[in-house]
């Protein structure tokens, strides 16, 4: 996982799975690198081949973290598998998704 700070944006890249095995690392790493003035978290999901309920809870936790500062989270280029899971769980209604 790569975390890139660009002014008020934190970009999360290089994820291939978000699951029970790494969800805590994702949350903790992003929160640790999140600039105080951050207004946007961009999570690139283009390489994510697997996401489970813990992975979804990680995305929700990040949404809450950035939302507390008046910011937002955007999910970038989700794979078809991730997109389907977001649709089934109706989380596509609460997340901004850019294809």
Number of Cβ within a 10 Å radius of residue 50? 14
One digit per residue, the tens of pLDDT, for the chain of length 99 reads: 999 999 999 999 999 999 999 999 999 999 999 988 899 999 999 999 999 999 999 999 999 999 988 999 999 999 999 999 999 999 999 999 999
For residue 84, what are its two tokens?
Answer: 């389907």
- In CATH, what number is assigned to the domain containing residue 87? 3.30.750.24
Task: Count how many domains the chain has.
Answer: 1
Domain hosting 67: range is 2-98
Total-model pTM: 0.95
């Amino acid at each position: 996982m790569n975390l890139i700070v660009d002014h008020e944006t934190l970009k999360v890249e290089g994820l291939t799975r978000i699951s029970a095995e790494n969800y805590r690392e994702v949350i903790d790493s992003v929160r640790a690198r999140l600039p105080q003035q951050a207004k946007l978290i961009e999570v690139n999901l283009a390489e994510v081949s697997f996401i489970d309920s813990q992975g979804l809870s990680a995305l929700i936790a990040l949404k809450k973290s950035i939302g507390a500062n008046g910011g937002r989270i955007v999910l970038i280029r989700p794979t078809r598998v991730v997109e389907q899971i977001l649709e089934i769980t109706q989380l596509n209604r609460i997340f901004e998704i850019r294809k």
